[in-house]
Structure 1
Amino acid sequence: MTSFTDVQTFLPFWLIWLMNFKFCLSEDVEDTTPLYDFYDNLTSVDYSIFPQLCVKATNRSFRLWFMSTFYSIICLLGLAGNLLVILTFLYFKRLKTMTDVYLLNLSFADLLFALTLPFWTANSVTNWVLGIVVCKIMNTIYKVSFYSSMFLLSFISVDRYFAISKAVSAHRHRSRAMFLSKVSSAVIWVLALIFSIPEMAFTNVNNNTCTPYSSNYDPLRISLQASQIVLAFFFPLLVMSFCYSSIVITLCQARNFERNKAIKVILAVVAVFLVCQLPYNLVLFWITVETGRGGIKDCNYDNRLLYATDVTQCVAFLRCCLNPFVYAFVGVKFRHDLLKLLKDSGCMSQERFFRYTCGRRRSSGATDTETTTTFSP
């Protein structure tokens, strides 16, 4: 049985519960409206004011086949063409002019650049899994080879300018030409290394991607891309424009049967540089401007700009496999040495070698020099 003391203890709990229940029933209905208004406001929120994630699935699928295909082609052609140039120079020991030294260094730079393309492909289509060390090494090799290649193209045009437009003064300093070419080549590689230091320092694995930028709106991106445009495009373009325009003027005043051919070669050199580099640098300049404005807010516009970047960058990378054909293989002597190298290595028969060489070489003292044609850039 329940004792009187237990009843006294149990009774206050019931009284408290009954008082609370009565209080809830007696409350005014208006007291609950703020709660209902809060939930109504949640359902009527304008979510368009909040930033939305920009979906780039189509860009990733495009990169998967586009970059894998074209980067592989560029890599194979770049390796084959630049290796042939290097082997020809070393096999025949034909480093006799400044242009020869610059062409050999250009081939090494383009060869290193081509070797980085498989890593660029992997970095563009999938997550970076090779670690921070390989990331920094790959990006450093790419930047050093990129800057050195652009500077070497400028120095080749300067050497051709002195050899053709300033032939008298160039012949006077011919004894020091080889020494100057080796020193200037070393300076070019050192400068390329110095200009690559910022990206070496900031390159990291961010969001499973090997990149020097923490995001697409990183302020560091503005300074790095602006310096690349100035140093690796506008500077070579100005130097090449001045030198080759002066060469064309000099050739137009000459009365040589090789004049028209030489002018076509120079126009081809300038055209290849502009076609490969101008579209990419224009897109890069516009991206730099948009980054300085605070980034791109329109997702469709951002995706179109990414497509333009991928396509123009692939075209710009073509230079590493086109340079051997534009600069080296155009020379009469170089083509002959290349064919002789293929014959000596067993890649070409004796009959075919004589078919390509006999009757095609003209012994003109003004056009056929020890290494390449005088008017060849």
Structure 2
Amino acid sequence: MTRVRDLPNILPAVLIWLMHVKCSMSLREFNKTITIVTDYNFSTDSYPDYNYSIDYADYPEVCAKQFNRQFRGWFMPTFYSIICFLGLVGNLLVILTFFYFKRLKTMTDVYLLNLSFADLLFALSLPFWAANSMTEWVLGLMLCKAMHTIYKVSFYSSMFILAFISIERYFVIARAVSAHRYRSKAVFLSKVSSAAIWLMALIFSIPEMTYTTINNNTCSPYSSNYDKLRVKIQASQIVLAFALPLLVMSICYSGIVQTLCQARGFERNKAIKVILAVVAVFLFCQMPYNLVLIVNTVVTAKGGVKVCNYDNMILYAIDVTQCMAFLRCCLNPFVYAFIGVKFRHDLLKLLKDLGCMSHDWFIRFTRGRRRSSGATDTETTTTFSP
């Protein structure tokens, strides 16, 4: 009898032959022929031309990412929770200290307050980032767009503010005479520049407002149909939010170090250490993520990754370095505010007044602390004071 699995291989030839025979024989003869054909034991060896096979090598291999999803399921929420807690506590303390003691007297104070608001805004969005990495996104498209937009606004504003802080410190320390001329207008200029920074950050975040979507039940900034657009936006982000601030900070802090090297004493050494700490924290948080972002941008521009293991390695690198970049929101208060003597003293006094610290502990922490003087410390400076 005919083997059923062989019928798909010979059926086209049989049908063509039967159509030809039907045209030249009677109905009885045709039915008889059909019986003979169906009773014949066909073999695919008799019809080598119709022995079809599928070459699966021509089809793209689906890259398995279940291990990456499992890694993100526990790694990202853990780090997001830690960063969220530290970011909320640190930045809220900075904001409370500013408003409690009415400390907005210098450009640095205004910039630090805006930096704390930017980092606090981002810290408040981290629970949504944690939820997005653990389960399917069920909070709707509007909240998805808001999450990514808040991140970008906070990211751009923080980077620009850090650059402006370095510029302001350069003029106060390295160009003290020129800075003194504009001392009466310093706070006003800092408020205007801060408003301009927030406006620029909002404008640069328009792509996130426009193209953020829910892709495969996950809130993502771009769908797979916008690879060319993603390359352009990521390239502009690398230039505007990393390369440009790094260049400005490098020039300004180099000039500050040269000025401090001409001074003498213990104050100079501590101020230089603070500058090195500021640059080190910035590079530690932003350099790895931006390097991975450059690699990912180049790969996307070339059409994507062909090797599955390499694709997964990039995903792991993006997850880890992104968490390092997110650390900035909880490290900035310690680097730019708490490291200064005056701000640290005000913070301890705030904790004492709120009942979080006893008077004895306040005396113990503040005993023997003397305020710095000279080029490294102006009347109300909070940055670079030992």
Q: Same fold (TM over 0.5)?
A: yes
What amino acid is aligned across from residue 280 of structure 2 in structure 1?
A: A
1:21 to 32, 37, 60: 32
Structure-1 separation of matches of 2:279 and 2:33: 93
Superposition map of 1:185-200 within 5 A: 185-200=194-209
- Report deviation, 1:100: 0.4
Distance 1:35 1:147, change over 3 A: farther
Cα displacement (A) at 1:35: 9.3
1:49-128 matches, within 5 Å, as: 49-128=58-137
CA contact (8 A) 1:217 1:294 kept: no
Task: Give me the identity figure in percent.
Answer: 73
Cα deviation for residue 214 of structure 1 reads 1.2
CA contact (8 A) 1:333 1:370 kept: no
Is residue 277 of structure 1 aligned with residue 286 of structure 2? yes
Counterpart contact for 1:116–1:138, Cα < 8 Å: yes
Name the CA shift for 1:59/1:214 in 2 (closer, same or farther; >3 Å). same
Whole-angstrom CA distance in 2 between matches of 1:72 and 1:35 = 69
The answer to whether residue 324 in structure 2 is matched with residue 330 in structure 1 is: no
| Structure 2 CA distance for partners of 1:275 and 1:114, relative to 1, 3 Å | same
Q: Aligned-pair distance for 1:125?
A: 2.5
Residue segments in structure 1 that go unaligned for 5+ positions in a row: 1-14
State the 1:239 CA deviation: 0.3
2:154 to 128, 140, 145: 145
Give the count of matched residue pairs.
Answer: 360
**CA gap 1:59/1:332 in 2 versus in 1, 3 angstroms:** same
- Give the Cα–Cα distance (whole angstroms) in 2 for the partners of residues 35 and 114 of structure 1: 73
- Give me the whole-angstrom Cα distance separating, in 2, the residues matched to 1:224 and 1:243: 28
Report if the CA contact (8 A) 1:112-1:145 is conserved.
yes
- Higher mean alpha-carbon deviation, 252-261 vs 164-173, is at 252-261
2:51 to 40, 60, 81: 40
1:293 Cα deviation (Å)?
Answer: 0.3
SS in 2 for 1:65: helix
Which amino acid counterpart does residue 238 of structure 1 have in structure 2? L
Q: What TM-score do the two structures reach when normalised by structure 1?
A: 0.90
1:10-41 Cα offsets, whole Å, 9 max, x none, are xxxxx8345421466489x9x98699547633
- Counterpart in the other structure of 1:213: 222
Q: Please say if 1:315 is aligned against 2:313.
A: no
Between the aligned partners of 2:307 and 2:114, the Cα distance in structure 1 is 44
One-letter amino acid matched to 2:370: R
Q: Deviations over 1:259-279 (max 9, x none)?
A: 011001000100000011001
TM-superposed deviation, 1:362: 3.7
Aligned match of 1:9: none
Moved more, 83-92 or 360-369: 360-369
Q: Which runs of 5+ in 2 are unaligned?
A: 1-25
Paired residue for 1:263, among 257, 272, 296?
272
1:127-186 Cα distance to aligned partner (Å, 9 max, x none): 111001111111111111110000000000000000001000001110110110000000
Preserved contact between residue 84 and residue 126 of structure 2 (Cα < 8 Å): yes
TM-score by length of 2: 0.88
